[in-house]
Structure 1
Amino acid sequence: MTILNCSATKCIYNENELCSKGDIEITGDNAHRADETNCGSFRDRTTAGMMNSEAQHCGCEKINIDCKAQECTYNDHCNCTASAINVSGCSTDGCNETKCSTFACKC
């Protein structure tokens, strides 16, 4: 499992910059730069409508990552092999962009 630090604080799964989803998907099949990747599991906290105010959510430091960025050095048959990654994202309203800042092209 990979250590995940996530700054996409608008995501419904983000709990203190950790992920409470359990596993995530990084997209960007043809990516050659980090800006061409994103967290396919991102769900906007304000529009997702899934948040139950009584539910207890805990963020995980280590997580399974299904990586679709085929050109990434850390992608081994769609599994992320990096010891740690950073998913960066916007924390302001109107911004749903995320990326895997750890992406490194093997090309």
Structure 2
Amino acid sequence: MTILDCSVTGCMYNEANCCHKGNIKVEGEDAKESEDTCCGSFAERGDRCAKNVTGDAPKNIEVACCAANCVFNKEEKCSADHIGIAGGNACNCRETECASFCCG
């Protein structure tokens, strides 16, 4: 399990820079840089979409990872103690990225 910080305020799972989904998937199988990755679990909040937040954000979150070149990818799970998902007010998952990606 990983501590996750998320700056993607345009995602319906984000509340106060915390992910309330409980698990996410980082995509970018052939990524060489963080810009080549994205949060595959992103869901746009939109103007008419309510937040999908209940209770407190989990302290640790399971992160499935398809970024085969990342040093933290261990059998398609993120082994980093702490990661960040970046993307500000993204409107789709391709506007997000795993800021903790490290090409090995």
TM-score with structure 2 length normalisation? 0.88
Unpaired segments of 5 or more residues in structure 1? none
Unpaired segments of 5 or more residues in structure 2? none
Report if aligned partners of 1:14, 1:59 keep a CA contact under 8 Å in 2: no
Match of 2:74 among 73, 76, 89: 76
Report if aligned partners of 1:25, 1:67 keep a CA contact under 8 Å in 2: yes
Report if aligned partners of 1:13, 1:21 keep a CA contact under 8 Å in 2: yes
Larger of the two Rg values belongs to structure: 1
Report if aligned partners of 1:15, 1:57 keep a CA contact under 8 Å in 2: no
Instruction: Report deviation, 1:47.
Output: 6.7
| Aligned alpha-carbon RMSD (Å) | 2.0
Report if aligned partners of 1:2, 1:85 keep a CA contact under 8 Å in 2: yes
Task: Report Cα offsets for 1:74-105 as digits up to 9, x if no partner.
Answer: 000001000000100122xx743100000000
TM-score with structure 1 length normalisation? 0.86
